[in-house]
Chain A
Amino acid sequence: MTEKIGIDIGSTTIKAVLLDDTNTIVHKEYMRHKSSITNALIQLLYTMKEKTTTTNLYINITGSAGMFLAKENDLSFTQEVISATTALEAEANTFDCCIELGGEDAKIIFFDNGTIEQRMNGTCAGGTGAFIDQMATLINKSPKELNDLAKDYDKIHPIASRCGVFAKSDIQPLLNQGANHTDIAASIYQAIVNQTIAGLSQGKTIKGRVAFLGGPLSFSSELRKRFIETLNLTDVFIPEDGEVFVAYGCALEATTKYNLDKFIKTIEDYRQSSKKRHTKKRLPPLFKNKEAYETFQKRHQNNSLIEADLTTYEGNMYLGIDAGSTTTKLLLLSETYDILYQYYSHNKGNPVELVRKALIDIYKKKPEKAIIKGAFSTGYGEALIKNAFNLDGSDVETICHYEAAKYFNKDVDFIIDIGGQDMKCFKVENNVITSILLNEACSSGCGSFLETFATSLGHDIKAFAKLAIHADEPVDLGSRCTVFMNSGVKQAQAENASTNDISAGLAYSVVKNALYKVIRTTDVKRDLGEQIIVQGGTFYNDGVLRAFEQEIGTTVTRPNIAGLMGAFGAAKIAMKHASKKSTILTLSELQHFSYDKKNAVCKLCNNHCQLTINIFNNKRYISGNRCEKGAGIKQSKDDIPNLYLFKYDKLMTYKQPTKNTNAPTIGLPLVLNMYENIPFWFTLFDELGFNVVYSDRSSKSLYELGQNSIPSDTACYPAKLVHGHIENLRQKDIDLIFYPNMPYNVIEKDYRDNEYNCPVVAFYPELIKANMDVLNEETFIDPYLSLNNKKYFIKDFLNCDKLKQYVSKKALKNAYDKALTAYNDYRKSIFNEGTRAIQYAQDNDIPLVLLAGRPYHIDPEVNHGIPKLIRSLDVVVLSEDAINMRANQTQVQVLNQWTYHTRLYDSAKFITTLDNAHFIQLVSFGCGLDAITGDEIKDILDKNNKLYTQIKIDEVNNLGSANIRIRSLLSSEIR
């Protein structure tokens, strides 16, 4: 009698089955291993031993965390996707497709008439079990509660599906705007579905009989439902023993016999020895010994605000409310900066209610003679809170933090704030904030990240933080994004690292992320200065604080109210602005306070902002809008020049009045470089007698139309949108789709090194042709063309047989000239509008922002309405191509060989010559070339004492952080 054991060791759980000789499961085990894999495995093997009848049996290991363990001990191993395939084939061979979501991996298997195709997610892709855990934590629910919530959803919100970090920045504003949890829960599941389709199916259709495997799909009925509805599935298979299904397949794959006792002994020996056998680099311990820790603790106790008793206080009081993205903080100050009242809580999705309760508490505790003289709010929800409670004012969080830091050290050089979701760093020179750094979507190793890890390893965050103190040799986990760190932790676990070492390693990661990714310092003294204040909730973690000091090699100040600095700053500002009495709601008003919210979509322009209408008693406050129109303000700002809107509108004027029914129709996708070249192509084809049709305006749904043919999920969003546009064109009644490969751009300056387009812009048509099966080779035309040389243009154009039949050489020559003129006229109109914009700013004495990017950033789906947002702040918006001919940055330190880059350098130089003008660069996530331009532009601006600000944009639609940046930029120089 031969039994088999299959063991599946995943990133969070360990699963095993025991099969009898008919391959029937006689016993199964499922447990969370909480980072001690070997311990869990040994425990599991002993249980198995009790159930077996023989000592010699087949054993096989599978799963990502099992791989190194098996290798180290020379044990038999089968890759997990193979195990899953085997299990499915044993079940029945009628499957068409299998979707397996694990803790951190997502896999898809296609069974196609005997050929099996297996795919796994790339390195940069969430959408898995860990993602669900993170999202559930975010709204304070267990995964099971999340599932229950999703049952009653009403609408789905768009949430970026690429990875957890991005999704968070989508969910956060939704929470702050008070969207329903039921809707958010369902939207989270929908995001996973979209991610799976976009990331894994890559053009293959998921249809027919589909198997669902893995933890999340076994446990969450609503996730399955989202898949079923989205894919229109009718035949779905969920194995009875879903959670151990892969272990079952692994058992079937077993080919090596082991003596179970010896097997257990091997693992036990490994547990003893393996501490020394790790490949991951280790870091120095945070504290050499207990004494070192005590000295450290004492030193940091010095920076404290004193607490005073509110119930006996008499005099003036000042209130600061920091409505952050995940937490709400409240601080009540006395005239002498004593803390009379403090409050800190997770938002739990309804910050308004939290603040109301806290305020009532204050009113009830305070004696008659204690009077609130002023109240300010700050943070993501500053406007909402200010309006709800009728506060005296609000201010940008950057300014509030600086105010607070000054109290602890008036000579402060550098402030670094690491909160739950974001990281903010400010450099201060001569009492002015000279540079603001915020973490980008892809490097957010912040507080909530530590918390999620702590939870997944089975600890609460405070206990987890303490573990770091005792770490002997912290694991080096690198410092890119959460997804990478997840797998770093996974590897450390597999190598049997202690939880202490992992905790300390994560503390180091947070710090390194801040120093080398966000601040990008190489020389702390030079870049940060000597007087450094650290704040934000994450610095309460002594491990993080110590790692920070270790890494920069000097001591820093951590106030005892590190987590309340924003509120403290707001209170200080309230004190500055205090008048007779605060306008804040009274106790009875608070008690009769009613709050309701409704969702709506603004239809006043094509941005279609998702609005939340907050109704407080009889007052309305609208959030989610980009411009003043959505807020219900009648006064229009349409006459403030905005090059982004101007260019888009201008392009839309290149249209034929009527359709010629006898002529062929050609479709042009509104994508990438086409945004600039439309005047040329339109005129050319119009002259040649074609009907010209464009793809529709970009939108999320247009994107989704093409997302299943995207082969590389790390390409930039503007490129990924191309798939949708082509699909959209295909659905129109047209004869040809024209999308040329253009390695070379136009020549504008003679000192440039070359005039390339970036590889993605240049050759995306090739990718489209290779990945969109629906395209007909006969109708999709993608010649290689350059506009610079007429002779070669004509030659290359006519080389294209599909075009040749419609075009004579003579007509083409004529059309080329007209097209080029049209293009130059278009550029001229932009220059003229640029001139008008600068004049307008001067005449009306309002600030001007150069929003520098690339031509395709005028697509509202790409820029997410940021140009409108800036205009709503009464600011003129310029684009790089409106002013690039006004200055020559002849000397750059990098190769000046991309036309769009040359424009960036030249326009940056020009902007330094204007007063009251600011620079913001729009950078699409995944644009490797902007790693080069960003640095170079910063140098140009630095030399002329201008601030460099960068806003990273992707699928995500998060204006909150853009808003803070823009407002900080505008206000930091005023003060």
Chain B
Amino acid sequence: MATLKYDKDGRLLFTKEMKHDYKILIPAMAPYHFEYFVHSLKSEGYDAEVIKTTDFDVIHEGMKYSHNDICVPAMLVIGQFIDYIKRHNIDKHKIAVIITQTGGGCRASNYVSLIRKAFKKANLEFIPIISVNAVGLEKNPGFRVSLTLLMKLITALMMGDLLMQLYNETAPYEKNKGETEVVYQEVNTYLNAYFYKPARRVFYHPKKLFERVIKRFSQIDVDKRVKKPKVGIVGEIYVKYSPLGNNDLEKTLRNEGCEVITPNILDFFLYTFDSSIYDIETYGGSTISKYAYKFLIKFIEHRRNKVRKQLKKYGFNVFTTYKELRKLSEGFIKKGMHVGEGWLLTAEMLELIHSGAPNIICTQPFGCLPNHIAGKGMIKKIKKAYPKSNIVPIDYDTSATEINQMNRIKLMITNAKRNLTKGDKNV
């Protein structure tokens, strides 16, 4: 066990000493992305692991150690940490946990505090909690997002987004059942290896590597004559991506004969930077930060354009540029609404409708505040503009039952299938 050090406010720090002999636990959220985070961290000298437990005890521990009315992502993340630490035979004094913090005006920005409180209740207060955020909250001497790590994380997110798209686009149409999964596992072996390359090389966008992956997926034998309804998943970021949070929604939908479209995660990051720019322009703030954020958006979009080109080359769908995405929500909700997923959520629904997936599941934790506005609150307006859109809001909660959710999803899917056979494309 390392020496425990605290900052002036009494917050337990992740020290340099810990960097060498502690393992950093990452809660599962985006299954396609988070493994690459592990490799990004490992290649930078940290030890890390994504917690993959999904069983009932996770929910039970979460309920025990968090407030009744807190949203389900917080409950599940806390449950996953505590359950893992309690049940696995690991040295409790050699682990730390990591969590992202957005710093926005929603409950989610308090995850770090809530985990800290839960650890205290569970007598685990000696476990350091690392917050990753873009706004300079809670710094730790042993953990620093260096430039190399930042580059790796950007690439990791791009890879995750790409694999998520390729997988979802291919699996429903594969001729040989299970081939997509095999290819996915196969490409991962060399994608994971990428992160251990010398620092100099990770500064550049690994264009060839991406092409290799896309090409490999394009070789999977597919039968696109089978018409399947396209169903998009949007919503609060945790329940949108996390199979634990949404009862494995992607898989459920695929089993029901749908092609799933889950919008990219990187857009959420660009949106966060963009929101800071908006606030500086509207309410005042640092001009330097404003340009830094602008640069970041341009930089990432520049890299993503390369991927877009490659996708086009191999006949895959090309995801919307951030600039277009931004435009889509105009006339529906203003850019100032950027709490939680904010206007991006509305934009993603519209993007799906425009790209031939008018069937949408809008996911949110039960009682999610920002989604009252940008999710459920916008559905009516969207339906008015696009009468053929087929949107169903689903609330997720540890006590909500699958049957209730499924029944509503089923209604949406049935309509999606019927609209498809009607050949109704004039959305």
List residues of A whose CB falls within 8 A of some B CB. Answer: 64-65, 67-68, 78-82, 105, 115, 117-118, 120, 122-124, 202-203, 279, 281, 440, 443, 476, 478-481, 484-485, 487-488, 490-491, 494, 516-517, 520, 522-523, 711-712, 714-715, 719, 741, 743-744, 753-754, 756-760, 762-764, 766-767, 770-771, 784, 786, 788-789, 791-792, 796, 891, 893-895, 897-898, 926-932, 934-935
Q: How far is the CA of A80 from the CA of B407 in the complex (A)?
A: 9
A758 and B377 form a contact (CB under 8 A) = no
A741 and B337 form a contact (CB under 8 A) = yes
B283 and A928 form a contact (CB under 8 A) = no
22 A-B residue pairings within 8 Å (CB atoms) = A64-B403, A82-B411, A124-B366, A124-B395, A485-B399, A487-B401, A494-B403, A516-B68, A522-B64, A711-B379, A741-B334, A743-B339, A759-B339, A759-B369, A763-B370, A770-B378, A792-B284, A893-B117, A895-B137, A928-B69, A929-B107, A932-B110
| B residues less than 8 Å from A78 (CB atoms) | 414
A895 and B109 form a contact (CB under 8 A) = yes
Contact A79/B411 with A712-B372, A766-B373 known, Cβ cut-off 8 Å: yes
The answer to whether B122 has its CB under 8 Å from any CB of chain A is: yes
Contact A929/B404 with A522-B122, A759-B106 known, Cβ cut-off 8 Å: no
Q: Give chain B nearest CB distance to A763 CB in angstroms.
A: 5
Q: Which of B56, B397, B411, B414 contacts A281 (CB 8 A)?
A: B56
Q: How far is the CA of A114 from the CA of B306 in the complex (A)?
A: 44
A928 and B369 form a contact (CB under 8 A) = yes
Q: How far is the CA of A203 from the CA of B381 in the complex (A)?
A: 11
| B residues less than 8 Å from A926 (CB atoms) | 367
Instruction: List the 9 shortest-distance A-B pairs measured between CB atoms, nearest first.
Output: A478-B399, A756-B105, A480-B399, A931-B69, A784-B336, A767-B377, A894-B113, A770-B381, A712-B376
Residue tally, chain B, CB below 8 Å to A: 70
Q: How far is the CA of A147 from the CA of B393 in the complex (A)?
A: 34
Contact A928/B403 with A480-B397, A759-B106 known, Cβ cut-off 8 Å: no
Q: How far is the CA of A490 from the CA of B401 in the complex (A)?
A: 9
Q: Which of A766, A789, A891, A895 contacts B110 (CB 8 A)?
A: A895
| B residues less than 8 Å from A491 (CB atoms) | 401-403
Q: How far is the CA of A762 from the CA of B388 in the complex (A)?
A: 31
Q: How far is the CA of A79 from the CA of B392 in the complex (A)?
A: 14
Tell me the nearest residue of chain B to A768, going by C-beta: B377
Which of A123, A744, A926 has the most CB atoms of chain B within a 10 A radius of its CB? A123
| A residues less than 8 Å from B408 (CB atoms) | 120
Tell me the nearest residue of chain A to B56, going by C-beta: A281
B372 and A719 form a contact (CB under 8 A) = yes
| B residues less than 8 Å from A120 (CB atoms) | 407-408, 411
B113 and A714 form a contact (CB under 8 A) = no
A714 and B333 form a contact (CB under 8 A) = no
A67 and B56 form a contact (CB under 8 A) = no
Contact A897/B105 with A479-B63, A759-B369, A771-B377 known, Cβ cut-off 8 Å: yes
| B residues less than 8 Å from A712 (CB atoms) | 371-372, 376-377
Contact A741/B117 with A67-B406, A760-B372, A931-B68 known, Cβ cut-off 8 Å: no
A788 and B110 form a contact (CB under 8 A) = no
The answer to whether B260 has its CB under 8 Å from any CB of chain A is: no
Tell me the nearest residue of chain A to B66, going by C-beta: A931
Q: Which of A479, A758, A784, A891 contacts B282 (CB 8 A)?
A: A784
Contact A758/B400 with A67-B410, A767-B377, A932-B110 known, Cβ cut-off 8 Å: no
Q: How far is the CA of A837 from the CA of B9 in the complex (A)?
A: 35
Contact A744/B367 with A67-B406, A490-B401 known, Cβ cut-off 8 Å: no
B380 and A202 form a contact (CB under 8 A) = yes
| B residues less than 8 Å from A479 (CB atoms) | 63, 399
Q: Give chain B nearest CB distance to A923 CB in angstroms.
A: 9
**Given contact pairs A120-B411, A487-B400, A523-B121, a sample of 8 additional A-B residue pairs in the complex whose CB atoms are under 8 Å apart:** A123-B404, A478-B398, A487-B403, A763-B370, A767-B377, A895-B109, A895-B110, A897-B105
B334 and A766 form a contact (CB under 8 A) = yes
Q: How far is the CA of A930 from the CA of B398 in the complex (A)?
A: 19
Q: How far is the CA of A873 from the CA of B4 in the complex (A)?
A: 51
B404 and A711 form a contact (CB under 8 A) = no
- B55-82, CB < 8 A from A: 56, 63-65, 67-71
Q: Which of B282, B340, B399 contacts A484 (CB 8 A)?
A: B399
Q: How far is the CA of A784 from the CA of B337 in the complex (A)?
A: 9
Q: Give chain A nearest CB distance to B66 CB in angstroms.
A: 8
| A residues less than 8 Å from B400 (CB atoms) | 123, 480, 484, 487
B380 and A67 form a contact (CB under 8 A) = no
Q: Give chain B nearest CB distance to A930 CB in angstroms.
A: 7
| B residues less than 8 Å from A760 (CB atoms) | 369, 372-373
A897 and B397 form a contact (CB under 8 A) = no
B369 and A123 form a contact (CB under 8 A) = no
Q: How far is the CA of A216 from the CA of B113 in the complex (A)?
A: 47
A767 and B110 form a contact (CB under 8 A) = no
Q: How far is the CA of A770 from the CA of B374 in the complex (A)?
A: 10
Tell me the nearest residue of chain B to A784, going by C-beta: B336
Tell me the nearest residue of chain B to A63, going by C-beta: B407
Q: How far is the CA of A295 from the CA of B340 in the complex (A)?
A: 55
Q: How far is the CA of A791 from the CA of B334 in the complex (A)?
A: 21
Q: Which of B65, B283, B377, B403 contacts A786 (CB 8 A)?
A: B283
The answer to whether B415 has its CB under 8 Å from any CB of chain A is: yes
The answer to whether B38 has its CB under 8 Å from any CB of chain A is: no
The answer to whether B368 has its CB under 8 Å from any CB of chain A is: yes
Q: How far is the CA of A201 from the CA of B119 in the complex (A)?
A: 44
Contact A928/B71 with A759-B370, A893-B113 known, Cβ cut-off 8 Å: yes
B282 and A67 form a contact (CB under 8 A) = no
Q: Which of B67, B105, B113 contacts A758 (CB 8 A)?
A: B105
| B residues less than 8 Å from A792 (CB atoms) | 282-284
| B residues less than 8 Å from A516 (CB atoms) | 63-64, 68
